[in-house]
Amino acid sequence: MYYLGLDIGGTYIKIGIISSEGEILQLCKFSTGEKPLEVVFEEIDDILKAYKILGIGVAVAGIVDRDGKVIEAANIKSLNDFELKKELEQRYKIQVAVENDATMATLAEAFAGEGKGCNSFILLTLGTGIGGGFWFNGKVERLPMEVGHMTINYLGKLCSCGNTGCLEAYASARALKDNLIEKLEKGENSIASTLYEGNFYKIKPEDIYKIAMDGDPLCRSIMKEGGKALGAGLSNLINLFSPEKIILTGGLSKAVNIYIETAIAEAQKRAMKGLGEKVSIVTSSLVDKGGVLGAVMALNNQLSNQNSCNT
Ligand SMILES: [Zn+2]
């Protein structure tokens, strides 16, 4: 018997087949594109032909209500106001759990990652956008934790949510890419302008990091600026919650040199004396797996709650 874990993000969709012992048998990654659900349905159709699947757990980069409806997904507009759980249950006639991606990743970290043994930690998903999860006293707090939309500069840049000066507008993968494109359009020098046969609009965040690591001054400064902004956001979280740990996950958390290192230094510089020293800021070792693993954990919780209610 197997479970299917889905992680729908702004840039990638990850689909994992997970055994009842929690082992990942297969993990695939696809571009989210304009029609993410078509990709999802096609993949699930194929998996269901090959495996006996007990249920589907879904992590979504957006606000999800208790009925598994996506209320708002700023970076996956086609899922806005969409009854995702209902749609999947009707289509496949199996149990489905749908939750925010950071909440799912928080569950995975608590039981299988950096959060094991912690009483309190905050998790940040650093991807196209920035999400957050809060583990406190042995459970995930059901708080919005829209960390990416905390204001770090109230007169600042426009964010995808419509507000200005959000953390996400400065420190997310999309922000780094937009920042680079803006500078290349102004004619600033960088190896990045030669990639994709000069069509620098196709640049991916991982390219920026790679070029920065190769020593390109413009990409280095962009990664550093993004890291400083992230550090400002982290210091706000430390001052408000004083968690034992902050766990950074998502694609951008792999950019440890420059971006993450700058963020940690900035956070500790800005946090209140006595609070900054107490927190340990670490990167996740689950990263791509966290969303799908957590989604299946949430699904299992849902299944066992139903069973205990039925007996
Ligand atoms: Zn925002």
In-domain check, residue 113: no
- Do 127 and 41 share a structural domain? no
In-domain check, residue 60: yes
pLDDT digits (tens, 9 = 90+) for 162-176: 999 999 999 999 999
Percent of the chain with pLDDT over 70: 99
- Do 131 and 278 share a structural domain? yes
pLDDT digits (tens, 9 = 90+) for 201-210: 999 999 999 9
Query: Ligand 1 center to residue 19 CA distance, Å?
Result: 37
pLDDT digits (tens, 9 = 90+) for 236-247: 999 999 999 999
**pLDDT reported for residue 303:** 86
Instruction: Tell whether the model's pLDDT for residue 259 goes beyond 60.
Output: yes
In-domain check, residue 248: yes
- Do 57 and 75 share a structural domain? yes
Looking at the 3D structure of the chain, how many domains does it have? 2
- Do 9 and 43 share a structural domain? yes
In-domain check, residue 11: yes
Query: Ligand 1 center to residue 169 CA distance, Å?
Result: 7
**pLDDT reported for residue 231:** 98
Query: Ligand 1 center to residue 174 CA distance, Å?
Result: 12
Q: For residues 145 and 177, what is the distance between their CA atoms, to the nearest angstrom?
A: 24
- Do 270 and 174 share a structural domain? yes
- Do 94 and 37 share a structural domain? yes
Please list the alpha-helical segments (H only) found in the chain.
36-50, 84-92, 101-112, 168-171, 173-185, 205-213, 217-241, 261-270, 290-310
Residue 92, token pair as written in the block:
């496949």
- Do 128 and 40 share a structural domain? no
**pLDDT reported for residue 283:** 97
Q: Are 223 and 255 in contact (CB under 8 A)?
A: yes
Instruction: Tell whether the model's pLDDT for residue 137 goes beyond 60.
Output: yes
Query: Ligand 1 center to residue 155 CA distance, Å?
Result: 13
**pLDDT reported for residue 143:** 86
Residue 106, token pair as written in the block:
């928080």
- Shortest CA distance to 101 belongs to which of 302, 303, 292, 300? 292
Query: Ligand 1 center to residue 157 CA distance, Å?
Result: 10
Instruction: Give the type of residue at 265.
Output: A
Instruction: Tell whether the model's pLDDT for residue 141 goes beyond 60.
Output: yes
Residue 305: HSE in the Cβ half-sphere, 13 Å Cα cutoff:
8
- Do 37 and 155 share a structural domain? no
Query: Ligand 1 center to residue 9 CA distance, Å?
Result: 16
**Residues 280-291: what's their mean pLDDT?**
94
Average pLDDT along the chain? 94
Q: For residues 57 and 296, what is the distance between their CA atoms, to the nearest angstrom?
A: 5
In-domain check, residue 213: yes
In-domain check, residue 174: yes
pLDDT band at 212 (very low <50, low <70, confident <90, very high): very high
- Do 280 and 133 share a structural domain? yes
Query: Ligand 1 center to residue 37 CA distance, Å?
Result: 24
Q: Can you give the CATH number for the domain in which 157 is found?
A: 3.30.420.40
- Do 280 and 146 share a structural domain? yes
- Do 185 and 255 share a structural domain? yes
**pLDDT reported for residue 113:** 96
Stated pTM of the model? 0.90
**Residues 124-139: what's their mean pLDDT?**
94
**pLDDT reported for residue 310:** 58
**Residues 90-116: what's their mean pLDDT?**
96
Query: Ligand 1 center to residue 81 CA distance, Å?
Result: 18
In-domain check, residue 112: no
**pLDDT reported for residue 75:** 84
**Residues 271-285: what's their mean pLDDT?**
95
pLDDT digits (tens, 9 = 90+) for 42-78: 999 999 999 999 999 999 999 999 999 999 998 899 9
In-domain check, residue 93: yes
Residue 198: HSE in the Cβ half-sphere, 13 Å Cα cutoff:
1
**pLDDT reported for residue 309:** 63
Query: Ligand 1 center to residue 219 CA distance, Å?
Result: 24
Query: Ligand 1 center to residue 46 CA distance, Å?
Result: 37
Q: For residues 61 and 10, what is the distance between their CA atoms, to the nearest angstrom?
A: 7
- Do 149 and 50 share a structural domain? no
Query: Ligand 1 center to residue 221 CA distance, Å?
Result: 23
Query: Ligand 1 center to residue 105 CA distance, Å?
Result: 21
Q: For residues 276 and 299, what is the distance between their CA atoms, to the nearest angstrom?
A: 36
Query: Ligand 1 center to residue 78 CA distance, Å?
Result: 18
Long-range contacts of 136-140 (CB under 8 A, 24+ apart): 140/103, 140/106, 140/107, 140/110
Q: Which domain range does residue 236 map to? A: 118-285
